[in-house]
Amino acid sequence: MLKTHPTPARGPVGESVARLDGQEKVTGAAQFADDIQFGPGLLHARILRSPHAHALIKRIDASRALALPGVRAVVTGEQTPGYIGLYLQDRHIFCRDRVRYIGDPVAGVAAVDEQTAEKALDLIEVEYEPLPAVFDPVAGTRPDAPLLHPDLGQYEAVNFIFPKPNTNISNHFKIRRGDVAGAWAQCAAVVEREYRVPHIQHVPIEPHVAVAKWDEKGKITLWASSQSPFAQRNLIAKALHISQSQIQVVAPYVGGGFGAKAGVSMEALAVVIAGAVKGRPVKLRLTREEEFFTTFVRQGLVARFKLGCDTEGRLLALENTYYWDAGAYTEYGVNMTRAGGYSGTGPYDVPNVSVDSICVYTNHPVGGPMRGFGMPELHAGLEQAMDDLARSIQLDPVEFRRRNCIRGGDTVATGMTMHPTGLPDCIEQAAAAINWGHKAPPSAPTKRRGKGFAIMWKAPAMPPNAGSSARVQFNEDATVTVSVGGQEIGQGTFTVMAQMAAAALGVPYEWVKVAGPVDTDYSPYEWQTVASRLTWSMGNAVKAAALDARRQVLEMVAQAWKENPDDLDIVNGQVISYKTEEARSLKDIVIYGLPNPDGDGWIGGPVLGRGSFMPTYVTGLDAETGQGPRAVVHYTTGAQAVEVEVDLETGKVEVLRGVAAFDVGKAINPEMVKAQMEGGLVQGISTAFFEGLKLKDGRVQNPSFVDYRIATAADAPPQVEAIIVEVAQDDGPWGARGIGEHSMVPTLPAIANAIYDAVGIRMDAPPFSAEKVFMAMRQAGVVQ
Amino acid sequence: MVTAHPGLPEFDYVKPASLAEASRFLAEHAGAARAFMGGTDIFVRLRDGAWQAQYLVDVKHLEGMQALSFDPAAGLTIGAAVNLNRINAAPSVREHYPVLAEAAGTVASYQLRTRATLAGNVCNASPAGDTLAACLVLAGQVSVHGLAGPRQVALKDFFRGPGKTALQPGDVVTALRFPLPPAGYAAKYLKLGRNTLGDLAIVGVAALGYREAAAAAGLRFRVGLASVAPTPLLLEPAALSAGPVDEAALTAAAEAVAAAAAPIDDVRGSAEYRRLMVRNLARQALTEVWRKIAA
């Protein structure tokens, strides 16, 4: 049992301190992966990719490429017999006998420069035998659909994923609760809807980049723009059948991740290519075009909803089916479909539930994690259908949500008891802030205004035992170095960790720095920087490590002062005694200790705190019913409201005002929490109006910023209000929960509901481009 | 093309000392050499492999290329190397040709506009060129230096198809010229992009109107269209010169303009939507212009 002694409740937790990484990023001093210099020995890699959506590889001849001056190596699937994958090992690093999407890596070249590598690609001959392909997830589930992974039954999978051999279904998550079939008769209103959500891409500012090097003894170093240095070490080691200790992953700042840089994607390519030129570092840098379709994309979704309520508007039954267009490999995507399954009711209290969440292989780019992890996709349709259901019994949509939203103590559809949650408060505050129920006149006769509302929930989606660890060590001058394996990807985690360490130790925030870059040889273990889990999970580890260091200091001083540690405290970097009012600076003593009060020699020594955290209370769920005591650690909940103006002349929709209210448990840094809410809202707006990969026969038609538009500052609403609700989380540090992903989840349906409020139209799929809105209005007779 | 190129292909940079030398080099290396201005299109297309060029012939420094001048008698001359932000900010442009400043300000982003030029926009002859509709309604002229020396080409005769112009091997555009616009005229450019900043036009409509005693209605209108035909279009709606101009006539004119458009379906928008937007934006722009000149 870790003895902690009293925990100081003072700042800087809860204060909006300046970001730890602000200055170096603003001045351009911060180092990113592509900035690291490797000298003249550096080789450059390019990848030959499949031009077919689905084909067998009959023959590869790289002899002409190898003969090109400047080419040092060509690797193919021959060098990668092992499988790789996070939850389901379903892919080879380079394709072996089969390609499954346009862009699938077939060969890699290392050469003295990018241009030579590029030229060599043209000299590699590949003979393909094209196969029929699957481009629609519903069609992919049919018995006569072409089979993408005939070996699905042999793939290794974690025990909470259920692949169906000899089909294209790599996971099928089910909830069966209550009596859905019997409940429809009791419903006063039932709505049935189908929505499609397109694939989108994360579009980080910094494209993927990885540099790999093997030394002569077989030790591998990988420098990468990465959200997951430890997971990359683990997965690549397993795929290459080597020890994790043989791989060192060094991960400097990340220029935007949003999930794209989680797990392993192109990093393994660089590692395998470098294995063919031992001793030489090899850099692989994706072009923006490659970024759009060769790492991860957000999965597409076909969602069917059937919802029913009584005359009072109380939800009685819900029957939802989600077909995930998960792409060529679902090694990561399977868990998104699981998350989409267990959270498939949305944040509602429904007694009778049936959810089917089906992960379908298609010959599309690889679906992977993206901000929201399935939640934006399923809430997109669900929150529109809920609005329709409310309206069908003439109930105000906000009132409908008040009556049905999940509350602390409710039993969620998986059987878990909901912890205390501020969702009802989020609904009230968001409704009040948008002045719900009042419609302002439009700014011109050719415009119409509307307001829309949506709520959300999301749990960290991860294995039940994803762990965090941290080290807190003092320097001679009592400044503190915090070491973590979680990654600063712009979300501000280093700042938050420094705040927590400072608060737990009792030293000023300015005394704390976080060691970087994350390096698997030197940093403590962290599962991945995903799932909005760092503030909560890594925060728990940092807090524990800081309290461990604090305990060591207090016990040493107590011994020196012949006092009880419980009477001592550390305040503003000084140890004080509440009993004797003695005070002493931490300087020097945290390294050199103190003279032994009982004689010669010294006590204490360099203070080094350690902390670990792993949730031990998440349980498995029944494969047929999805029932179990605790599906997840907890849910972050929230609400958004928007006011829009629709231009009847063009179909353009402008978001005039956005309100976001989320229950974050405890805002460790309120301004950064608000920034997440604002940023999520803007990304939500972007996905609502602009974003979508235009796939035609498996080919992305718009893999560049010319035709894949994203919102800029000019598209952000002039007014955004971010409201923090704090209902403490029992397993979070200072009660904190995550907020990073959640803030974009309800935006799209809130906008859809506002468009409906303004002009009375519904569209079956985003993005709600001006064209789509105009044509829908025209079809409905709203405009000519 | 599945594999996008990470960098530019190799090319030789050529810096001629005179227009004559530039014309000679370009003519001698027809098909292999391209005149080089801001580079905002050329670099992208070389990287994409859409264009091949062995030589980029830098003409930015040649005589008159950087000049922007206004003559109360002759009108406006914009050197071919003058960037779009300069045009957008120039007091003479803002005062006498505000619609040109407006159109220049809608091209790409501020950063790109510090490199991109009006002449480059014209020479690329993209049907979607944001400045072209405004240049057409302002009766722009292209100053060209060719093997035979300088000549003028009216902009309405300049565009031959997507990416195709009246330029011959050896030709270098040296300036765009705009005559003095009609007294008391008004003009408006409306651009419909997918998002607010930096997009290509799905539809671009420029309208210009002025009083003319000789016209039946006492008013004359020109409409320029971008993105809705293989070339930018210049139209003079008959409905507005035949009889009295009122809302019905403006609607009829807008319908006629939409009928003259020949849009296509592409990744940015459907032909049907484009045609509807030509109608709506033309009506909007013409109405705004009409209110100004009729007042």
Measured between CA atoms, the residue of chain A closest to residue B193 is A770
Measured between CA atoms, the residue of chain A closest to residue B268 is A707
A118, A649, A712 ranked by CB distance to B197: nearest: A712
For A328, the 3-state DSSP assignment is coil
Rg from Cα positions in chain B: 19
Taking the CA of residue A631 as centre, how many other CA atoms within 13 Å lie in the half-sphere pointing to its CB?
Answer: 30
| Single pTM value for the model | 0.97
Taking the CA of residue B83 as centre, how many other CA atoms within 13 Å lie in the half-sphere pointing to its CB?
Answer: 15
Q: Is pLDDT at B113 greater than 70 in this prediction?
A: yes
Mutate to test the interface with B, among A283, A771, A773, A784 (most CBs of B within 10 A): A771
A741 labelled catalytic: yes
Residues in chain B: 295
A102, A289, A649 ranked by CB distance to B4: nearest: A289
Contact A704, B268 (CB under 8 A): no
Span A292-349, pLDDT tens digits: 999 999 999 999 999 999 999 999 999 999 999 999 999 999 999 999 999 999 999 9
For A577, the 3-state DSSP assignment is strand
Span A22-59, pLDDT tens digits: 999 999 999 999 999 999 999 999 999 999 999 999 99
Taking the CA of residue A458 as centre, how many other CA atoms within 13 Å lie in the half-sphere pointing to its CB?
Answer: 33
Cβ within 8 Å of B, A 81-110: 102-103
pLDDT averaged over chain B?
Answer: 95
Contact B59, B143 (CB under 8 A): no
pLDDT of amino acid B243: 82
Question: With an 8 Å Cβ cutoff, are B202 and A121 in contact?
Answer: no
Contact A686, A653 (CB under 8 A): no
Contact A768, A565 (CB under 8 A): no
pLDDT band, very low/low/confident/very high, at A140 (cuts 50, 70, 90): very high
Q: What are the structural domains of chain A?
A: 22-30+466-613 (3.30.365.10), 34-131+209-285 (3.90.1170.50), 300-462+620-779 (3.30.365.10)
A121 Cα to chain B: minimum distance (Å): 9
pLDDT band, very low/low/confident/very high, at B35 (cuts 50, 70, 90): very high
pLDDT band, very low/low/confident/very high, at B295 (cuts 50, 70, 90): confident
Residue B280 in contact with partner chain A when CB distance is under 8 A: yes
| Choice between A216 and B282, residue whose per-residue pLDDT is larger | B282
Residue B284 in contact with partner chain A when CB distance is under 8 A: yes
Query: How many C-beta atoms surround the C-beta of residue A779 within 10 A?
Result: 10
pLDDT of amino acid A4: 47
Binning chain A into helix, strand and coil, the percentages to the nearest 5 are 30, 25, 45
pLDDT of amino acid A376: 98
Residue showing tokens 């009660």: A735
Cβ within 8 Å of A, B 173-202: 192, 194-200, 202
pLDDT of amino acid B1: 42
Contact A200, A298 (CB under 8 A): yes
pLDDT of amino acid A74: 98
For A393, the 3-state DSSP assignment is coil
Name the superfamily (CATH) of residues B186-193+200-294. Answer: CO dehydrogenase flavoprotein, C-terminal domain (3.30.390.50)
Residue A566 in contact with partner chain B when CB distance is under 8 A: no
Residues in chain A: 784
Span A689-743, pLDDT tens digits: 999 999 999 999 999 999 999 999 999 999 999 999 999 999 999 999 999 999 9
Residue A712 in contact with partner chain B when CB distance is under 8 A: yes
Chain A residues with CB under 8 Å of B279 CB are none
Chain B residues with CB under 8 Å of A49 CB are 2-3
Residue A522 dihedral angles phi and psi, to the nearest 5°:
-125, -25
Measured between CA atoms, the residue of chain B closest to residue A699 is B2
B93 Cα to chain A: minimum distance (Å): 25
Q: Is pLDDT at A2 greater than 50 in this prediction?
A: no
Question: With an 8 Å Cβ cutoff, are B3 and A714 in contact?
Answer: no
The CA distance from A441 to A446, in Å, is 11
Question: With an 8 Å Cβ cutoff, are B280 and A650 in contact?
Answer: yes
A32 Cα to chain B: minimum distance (Å): 19
DSSP secondary structure letters along A751-780: HHHHHHHHH----SSS---HHHHHHHHHHT
Question: With an 8 Å Cβ cutoff, are A102 and B268 in contact?
Answer: no
ipTM given for this complex: 0.96
CATH number of this structure's domain B68-178, picked from the four choices 3.40.50.300, 3.90.1150.10, 1.20.140.10, 3.30.465.10: 3.30.465.10
Mutate to test the interface with B, among A114, A126, A649, A782 (most CBs of B within 10 A): A649
Mutate to test the interface with A, among B194, B268, B287 (most CBs of A within 10 A): B194
pLDDT of amino acid A9: 52
The residue-averaged pLDDT of B200-214 equals 94
Span A275-284, pLDDT tens digits: 999 999 999 9
DSSP secondary structure letters along B54-94: SEEEE-TTSTTTT-EEEETTTEEEEETT-BHHHHHH-HHHH
pLDDT band, very low/low/confident/very high, at B6 (cuts 50, 70, 90): confident
The residue-averaged pLDDT of B155-180 equals 97
Distances (CA, A) of A37 to A45, A281, B232: 16, 10, 48
Active site residue: A291, A383, A526, A741, which one? A741
Single-letter amino acid code for the residue at A132: P
Q: If 0-12 CB within 10 Å is exposed, 13-18 middle and 19+ buried, where does residue A676 land?
A: buried
How do A512-514 and A480-484 pair as beta strands? parallel
Helix residue spans in A628-709 (DSSP H): 670-689
Contact A539, A497 (CB under 8 A): yes
Contact A284, A269 (CB under 8 A): yes
The CA distance from B262 to B244, in Å, is 28
pLDDT of amino acid B3: 52
pLDDT of amino acid B2: 45
Measured between CA atoms, the residue of chain B closest to residue A286 is B6
pLDDT of amino acid A3: 46
Residue B239 dihedral angles phi and psi, to the nearest 5°:
-60, -20
Measured between CA atoms, the residue of chain A closest to residue B274 is A771
The pair of structure tokens assigned to B93 is: 């442009």
For A26, the 3-state DSSP assignment is helix
Mutate to test the interface with B, among A683, A709, A710, A768 (most CBs of B within 10 A): A709
The pair of structure tokens assigned to A595 is: 């003279």
First to last CA, chain A: 73
H helix and E strand count, chain B: 11, 14
A169 Cα to chain B: minimum distance (Å): 28
The CA distance from A67 to A71, in Å, is 7
The CA distance from A573 to A121, in Å, is 60
**Sign of the dihedral defined by the CA atoms of residues B76, B82, B84, B89, in that order:** negative
Measured between CA atoms, the residue of chain B closest to residue A776 is B273
Q: Is pLDDT at A8 greater than 80 in this prediction?
A: no
Question: With an 8 Å Cβ cutoff, are A775 and B273 in contact?
Answer: yes
pLDDT of amino acid A67: 98
pLDDT of amino acid B128: 87
Question: With an 8 Å Cβ cutoff, are A650 and B277 in contact?
Answer: yes
Chain B residues with CB under 8 Å of A714 CB are 195-197
Residue A457 dihedral angles phi and psi, to the nearest 5°:
-145, 155
Span B62-107, pLDDT tens digits: 999 999 999 999 999 999 999 999 999 999 999 999 999 999 999 9
